[in-house]
Structure 1
Amino acid sequence: MTALYRPYAISVGGQALCAIEALTPDLPPPGRLLKQLRRLTESLQHEPGDCCLVTQHLDAYSRRRLVELKQPFCLPGQQLYWPALGTVQTRIRELGRPAQPGEHLSPAAQQVLLAILLRRIVLPSAITALAEPLGLSPISASRVAAELINSGLLQVEDEGRHRWLYSDQPLAAIWAQAQPFLRNPIMRLLRVRVTQRPPQARLLAGETALAEQTMLLGPPIPTYAMAHRNWRHAGRDLETIAHDDDGLCRIELWRYPPERLSEGPCVDPLSLVLSLRAQTDERVQQAVSELCGRLPW
């Protein structure tokens, strides 16, 4: 047994416990593994629940079986299962395909990340808590969490029956790291008569919103934003105009509902920056830089 395991005496809160380090990555099946650990535990004069197996690798089936058998185990930096400590806590990497360079977040994932950066959602946050503020279903919230974890932008920690999103980085660092995964929220740009502007297109956007928040001179034709999915109904009977003209306004159709992130008459500042980052006008870029200097971190 000494060639397979090395025991260590430890104390947690004054409680005498034992950590059993596996010296080989090739562990036996859970049933035989449990028998070996029980024999070693008895020789150390400990109760079975007081000794925790420490190993660098344990497949999903073995982890599940050890939990069923009440055998404590630890994968350093990944997962801890030890009921004798009075709680079951896990921190485990989401198993999924990591996001690849050049891939973008889905609209829902981008919306959630921006809500976190804008402090509309405060970290650490239970994954189930992502749904209500942004109008997502519980299934969508889980998918969004997986995207954000697999992209490396956020981390996950399991505590009992709850899963929590968190990050060790400041918000400004997350924003900088997220840039390759974020895209322009605008899907289409249309022009309609100001008198026919749909009520859903109530938030100022584009250079109009930028002018409201910086020293930029506003454009002669105002710009508004609304969710692309609402246009089919709201714009069904509206005439769209090909070119700018007096009496018109621009309507940006967004990948996600802009009102979910806004707290005023304008679209949120992060989405606004993303919608204008391809602009080549030096005046606009100076105003964007001014706005970035007032971001919420």
Structure 2
Amino acid sequence: MFDFLKTIFGANIDVSEFDYPDKTPFFIRDGYKIQILSWKKSRCVLLSPIDSSWRLPTLKKQLTKFQEICDFPCALCLENITSKQRRNLIESNIPFISQSQQVYLPFWGCSFLEKFKAETTVPDKMAPGTQLVFLYLYYLKTTNTTNLTQISKELSLSKATCTRAIDDLTASGLITCKTEGTNKWIAPAFEKPEFLKKGYPRLKSPVERLIYVRASFHDAALPKSGVIALADISMVGADEQDGAAAISKKGGAGIPAAEIISEQDFRDFGGRILEVWRYDPTLLANGGRVDDISLLLSLKDNPNERIQMGLDDIREKHELPIKYEE
């Protein structure tokens, strides 16, 4: 960013730390990193929001408040902006600089390149990687923040997939991101019950397809799923043909062809059902079965009333609306 500023204002521009004025309110001290930008004999104070999920009306209001107590001209320093945000800031006469090489410092000069952050479109349903990251954050026992590197490592996801997930969840208001140096710290924007309720309408069944295998096929690492998993935590009964285990897409593709049977052979002679999931079920599994919310999603459209009553145990546990009243 500052290399770009040097191409505009020359090599004699410099940035350094700046002490907060005595009357600086807490929302500025806690919410912004502040620096002083010097050019020849002129100085300008830059306010960089720590939370990357900022809202433009809030930034404009808080900059105006800070300008009232600061002796120098003030400007926002933003990581990226859209073309609509740039237009709004200029129309509001709010000075700013952006890493997308947008500079509006009317007391010094202006420069604009048509290079903007792409606006994130939030789809009706989460992508599998996004849903996995959302559930991972929901199940975290600690309320401390985590970062992209930790999530990528814990879930064996690529950095690109994690970045897309975080962009989606940030754009939908479900998580907050705070930048510290090269780290982006991520945390749910709501407490656990509310976090799940806000995101639940965008979740979908993790089951992509079913595979029927011979009864002799066994993999102890596969967590129980379907009705047999629900039977472990509710009064629902399960029979042999309800038995199912969850497997990742990669694991499903590696099943030997000799072990796979048709659905009719399964009905006639028995065997096992494997649910092929859109994300790895073992990453969230607990106690030898798939996680509660994924199990609920996989069975929520089942028309069987006894199953829905069993699912109400999960709904009640996680403070979701129950479906059946006794």
Structures share fold, TM-score greater than 0.5: yes
What does 1:135-174 align with in structure 2 at a 5 Å threshold? Answer: 135-174=156-195
Query: Which amino acid letter does the alignment assign opposite residue 227 of structure 2?
Result: E
Query: Which amino acid letter does the alignment assign opposite residue 219 of structure 1?
Result: D
Q: TM-score by structure 2 length? A: 0.62
What does 1:64-75 align with in structure 2 at a 5 Å threshold? Answer: 64=99
Q: Distance in 2 between matches of 1:254 and 1:210?
A: 17
What does 1:92-241 align with in structure 2 at a 5 Å threshold? Answer: 96-100=119-123, 103-119=124-140, 122-197=143-218, 199=219, 202-221=222-241, 222-241=243-262
- Relative contact order (alpha carbons < 8 A, sep ≥ 6): 1 or 2 greater? 1
- C-alpha change, 1:172 and 1:95, in structure 2 (3 Å) is farther
Question: Aligned to 2:273, which of 245, 250, 260?
Answer: 250
Aligned length: 238
Q: Distance in 2 between matches of 1:163 and 1:239?
A: 45
Shift of 1:17: 7.7
1:293 aligns with 2:316: yes
Shift of 1:16: 4.4
Q: Distance in 2 between matches of 1:270 and 1:18?
A: 44
SS at 2:137's partner residue? helix
Cα deviations by residue, 1:207-238 (Å, 9 ceiling, x for unpaired)? 00000111111132211110122222224332
Structure 2 unaligned spans of 5+? 1-18, 26-36, 46-69, 77-87, 106-116, 321-326
Contact kept, 8 Å, 1:201 with 1:224, in 2: the verdict is no
Structure 1 unaligned spans of 5+? 1-10, 20-30, 41-48, 70-93
Cα deviations by residue, 1:181-213 (Å, 9 ceiling, x for unpaired)? 21110000122222124x277211000000011
Q: TM-score by structure 1 length? A: 0.68
Alignment identity in percent? 23
1:276 aligned partner: 299
SS at 1:136's partner residue? coil
Q: Which piece of structure 1 moves more, 150-159 or 269-278? A: 150-159
Contact kept, 8 Å, 2:230 with 2:311, in 1: the verdict is yes
Question: Aligned to 2:97, which of 28, 38, 62?
Answer: 62
SS at 2:189's partner residue? coil
Q: CA RMSD in A?
A: 3.8
SS at 1:38's partner residue? strand
Q: Distance in 2 between matches of 1:60 and 1:231?
A: 55
Q: Distance in 1 between matches of 2:97 and 2:185?
A: 24
Query: Which amino acid letter does the alignment assign opposite residue 286 of structure 1?
Result: M
Shift of 1:296: 9.0
Shift of 1:271: 0.5
Shift of 1:108: 1.1
1:75 aligned partner: none
